[in-house]
Amino acid sequence: MRHRHIHEKLLFILLVMLFATGMLVGCSRTGAENTNEQVIQKVLELQFSGPDEEFMDAMWNPEYKKVVDGKEENEVFDRFVQEAYGDYFTESELDTFVRAFGTQYPSTAHSNGYKLDLKNVSIEQTEQASNRYEFIAQVGYQKDGGKEETAKVEGAIFFSTKEEGKIGRFQYSKDESLIESLSR
């Protein structure tokens, strides 16, 4: 009888420990998801707020550009990119992102006198892959004090499976012709 009571206590303690371990694993997974969503939010804020005049100056100012071994380099711009986006992307994707998307909206807005304002972001982790997130950003854009309009910008982000919390692939998919509107 006494052994049975001890076994019941041990079983109870074991079940409590298993439950607590399950809760910790569940909480840490949710924490990673929240961190990933914060990374996406921050990158979209950098893309659709401003554009940042110092960033634009670093990108376009000919004083910062020089040709080394037949290739144009801009150390000031590279430093700005690293400081702004470096914590959020894998090293290889950061270069790809900047060449493909990273300057597209801010520089087009800057060149044509538009201000961008990130209004809202919805982010959803997809069921197909745990490291894939889709986003919809509501972006306000306004030219020289004119009437503000908004556009929805959609895209997908894959987080690296090797570097936790770092974007391994970033792509825009739709933008309700925002880039064309900013080009006018």
Mean pLDDT of 73-78: 96
pLDDT of res. 9: 44
Please state the pTM of the whole predicted model.
0.79
pLDDT over threshold 70, residue 14:
no
pLDDT of res. 174: 97
pLDDT over threshold 50, residue 170:
yes
Give how far Cα 10 sits from Cα of 13, 17, 49, 70, Å: 5, 10, 58, 73
Residues 6+ apart with CB under 8 A from 123: 37, 40, 41, 133, 134, 135
Instruction: Please name the fold of domain 35-182.
Output: Nuclear Transport Factor 2; Chain: A, (3.10.450)
User: How do residues 22-44 score in pLDDT, each as one tens digit?
Assistant: 333 333 344 566 799 999 999 99
Pairwise CA distance, residues 13 & 107, whole Å: 61
Give how far Cα 30 sits from Cα of 8, 23, 24, 54, 151, Å: 33, 11, 10, 36, 30
pLDDT over threshold 50, residue 64:
yes
**Token pair for 160:** 């690296």
Mean pLDDT of 144-170: 96
Residue 147 CB neighbours (<10 A): 6
pLDDT over threshold 50, residue 15:
no
Give how far Cα 19 sits from Cα of 10, 42, 97, Å: 14, 35, 42
